[in-house]
Amino acid sequence: MSSFEDKYHLTSEQSIFLAKKKWDENVYCGMKMENRAVTFPQTQTILNGVNVPNVQLDDIQAILNMRDAWKYLLHTVEELITFAYWCKLNEYIARNEALEWGKLRTGTVGISGTDYIPPIPEKETVIKELDHILSNSDMSATDKALEVFVWGTRGQFFWDGNKRTSLMLANKILVSAGAGIMTITDKYMEQFNAVLLKYYNTGKPDELKQFIYENAIHGINL
């Protein structure tokens, strides 16, 4: 029995339509998750290929990186998720932002606001953990999306872009299954950050999963 049942049951056409309709909002969500100083209109303008004054070059790079990750996701909706696929998402998202991108980190990182130090990932263990989530037939698509998100954010498996990569992987699961899209809007971002920080400190994901399920899974009501 799944802890979180799918809220939506969309056809592949409806799912792609939703993803294309919401992807700019999702890119903005990724920026706000990283505390980037950009507005939604600025994000939309940059995504449309127009220069925006007073936006930092690294913020523009981050927006364009998420754009490319979304393009990759939409072109590979039918592909199976593998370790290599997950790394590819990070390769797009963290391009020119990190020491390395698309590869598991080999050194220690910290997380702002918490004393929790994620362990250095071991490739074989990480692959087994990811496969365990993805292959669990008792979990709904929404369950899997929530699980990979909390797993990836606290694990900090890459040098940079972990929240955005986890968000993107969760959306790959949701979009492929027609189960909606995960996006945290401005209305809920402050509360999300508080719940996320609590999760970093405790390692207990239930409250974060419940919060996302109630406030950040969107779809089409038919």
| Binding-site sequence positions for ATP | 201
Q: How many CB atoms lie within 10 A of CB 144?
A: 23
CA atoms within 13 A on the CB side of 190: 1
Q: Dihedral of CA 122/124/125/130: which sign? A: positive
The Cα angle at residue 88 between residues 82 and 92, in degrees rounded to 5: 155
Residue list, annotated binding site = 201
181-182 vs 217-218, strand pairing mode: antiparallel
**Strand, helix or coil at 181?**
strand
Alpha helices (runs of H) in 76-140, residue ranges in sequence order: 83-93, 123-134
